A and B are shown apart, each in its own frame.
Chain A
Amino acid sequence: MSVSAAARLRHQIGFDLLIFRRNPAATFFTVVLPLIFLVIFTSIFGNETLSNGAKAATLYVPGILALAIISATAVNLAITMTARRERGILKRVRGTPIPPWVFVAAQALAGFAISALMTVVIIVVGRLAFGVTLNAAGIPSLVLSVLIGAVSFAAIGLALTTIIPSEDAAPAVTNAVMLPLYFISDVFITGDQVPDWVATVGSLFPVRHLSHALQDSFDPFFDGTPWPWNHWLVIAAWGSAAAAVTLRGFRWTPRR
């Protein structure tokens, strides 16, 4: 009689991925733009072989990957879920027997699926075009970083919808929050080029911890331990706080 939650989740994730694929803005900012940045960075900053034997692009890849994950989750959800709310789409879903948590969890898991795909794409492009290598020892912590990052930033995107008043305001609010964070979180500019106070401010927020957790996984000398627990904890703390905000304030009906 009753449809299993797992079957409903799979079904909804499938449709959410289809919707994502057909949304030109979402695919551009999540799939195309990070690859463009990777090419631009290696062109501007060069891709010489460093003293440790790694290619310089190895420094850019984790930041680019963080950008792709955040676009696939926080940015994408903040914008599309606000639009769906204001267009009455969420209200209609709420009028059906699908459990609300299944519908919302599907959004987060679709974001994770896109993040996982982008991880593979960026690794392959980095490898083929710029000689970036990933040690087998780094794979488990990379997978966990992508998972923790995607789920936490999905929650952050849902929490953002609670303060976004309208569909028009969604891209502006989301970018106003995320763009400055990218610059102080070693996404666009890495390492020694940033002053200490910027790094300190950046480490209060989850973006920097995601790019650093990914950096650790790409480190040529990383032997698989220790895992970047400190970064994961900060990301997960932000994700949990965002989930609490979402549970309290998420709206299914239009604000207008």
Chain B
Amino acid sequence: MGAAIEVRDLHKSYGGRAAVGGIDLDVAEGEILAFLGPNGAGKTTTIEILEGYRTRDSGSVSVLGVDPASAPLAWRERIGIVLQESEPVAELTALESVTMHAAYYANPRDPAEVLDVVGLSDSADQRTRKLSGGQKRRLDLALALVGSPSLVFLDEPTTGFDPSARRESWTMIDALRQLGSTVLLTTHYMDEAEHLADRIVVIAGGLIVARGTADELAQQVGASTRITWRPDPGQPAPPSTIGATIADGRASIETDDVVGVLHALTSWAVENGVGLDELNVARPTLEDVYLTLTGGGDEAGPTRSGPEPATGRSRPRDRRASRGSR
């Protein structure tokens, strides 16, 4: 399999501030790759350089064998783009919008079929202004797919969606896999990257900080499994050999030897008649991994031992609040 995208040592600065500080990126043909990172990490800057919308300061870029900075229009026959923010033409119906775009390409797909692929057939004759946010996003995808591209860019396809709309969109993006397209998508949702992508590249502060499958990322971070329970104050404390720490009324053990530690713990508990109330064994969540990688979880991370380590932290929700990449 050849490389659909090949990036070497890409740099881009705005007003002296490095938005992208020297990244390498490879996307194989047929692969779905997620470009994951918080706001202002350089995701949109990078993807728009690959799409030919922005120029780079230095480095080499090849997209389908062509440098986007000097690509002829014919190159655009082979790529489909879903922009982070774009609206449909309000006066047209969904089907008319796709039909208008189909004629921009030499070998377009059938517009009605494309609407079917993205699940908009029932709304084909609706004016686009009446479509919901999720439906508009699907129309965006239909417009990107109508030219029958071999490479599709999706810039934050589900940002701002409620959970059910996100799930719907995932189903639709999964359909791209069946079409055999190469897909590069950006997201700041770890679960989205995990669900959709074959491989994840994590970017923070304009640099790539990790790459691999979701499992490989978890291993790279080396996060341990955490065993917790609520000790009864009237009962004896566990022996120090078990290595539990007690804080905020909960005992916790971090270990990579889950079976051994659990055996020792439960044996001690049975022998001493101790109830291990609310016993919980938790793998690190992917969100923990993501926050560790991108530096977002340093403050609230390993030193705290609350009952639910993942939920107390803020996550980058509002893209508009910090659009540093513009």
Asked if B105 is at the interface (CB within 8 A of a chain A CB), the reply is yes
Q: Are B106 and A92 in contact (CB under 8 A)?
A: no
In the complex the two chains form, is B92's CB within 8 Å of A91's CB? Answer: no
Chain A window 108-129, contacts with chain B (Cβ cutoff 8 Å), 1 for yes, 0 for no: 0000000000000000000000
Judged by a CB distance under 8 angstroms, whether B164 is at the interface is no
The residues of B that contact A84 with a CB separation of less than 8 Å are 89
CB of B100 within 8 A of CB of A15, answer yes
Prevailing SS type, chain B contact patch: loop
CB distance from B159 to the nearest CB of A (A): 14
Is the Cβ of B87 less than 8 Å from the Cβ of A87?
yes
Contact B81 A95 (CB under 8 A): yes
B111 to chain A, nearest CB (A): 13
Indicate if B318 sits at the interface (CB-CB under 8 A).
no
Which of chain A's residues have a CB closer than 8 A to the CB of B74? 2, 97
Interface string of B58-88 (1 = CB under 8 A from A): 0000000000000001101101010101111
Which residues of B sit under 8 angstroms from A36, Cβ to Cβ? none
Which of under 10, 10 to 19, 20 to 34, or 35 or more describes the interface residues of B?
20 to 34
Q: Could you tell me the distance between the alpha carbons of A97 and B73 in the complex, rounded to whole angstroms? A: 5
Nearest CB on B from A122, distance (A): 25
Residues of A within 8 A of B217 (CB): none
- When distances are taken between beta carbons in the complex, the residues of chain A under 8 Å from B25 are none
Taking CB atoms, residues of chain A closer than 8 Å to B96 are 15, 18
Q: Whole-angstrom distance between the alpha carbons of A96 and B89 in the complex? A: 16
Residues of chain A in range 59-116 having any CB-CB distance to chain B below 8 Å: 84, 87-89, 91-99
CB within 8 A of B147: which of A12, A88, A93, A96? A96
Chain A contacts for B73, CB-based, 8 A? 97-99
Report how far A8 CA is from B92 CA in the complex, Å. Answer: 18
> Are B86 and A8 closer than 8 Å at their CB atoms?
no
If A92-B81, A92-B143, A97-B76 touch, whether A19 touches B89 (CB-CB below 8 Å) is yes
25 contacts between A and B (CB under 8 A): A3-B106, A8-B104, A11-B103, A19-B89, A19-B92, A22-B91, A23-B91, A88-B83, A89-B86, A89-B87, A89-B88, A89-B89, A92-B81, A92-B83, A92-B86, A94-B53, A95-B79, A96-B105, A97-B74, A97-B77, A97-B147, A98-B73, A98-B104, A99-B73, A254-B85
- A interface residue numbers (CB < 8 A to B): 1-3, 7-8, 11-12, 15, 18-19, 22-23, 84, 87-89, 91-99, 253-254
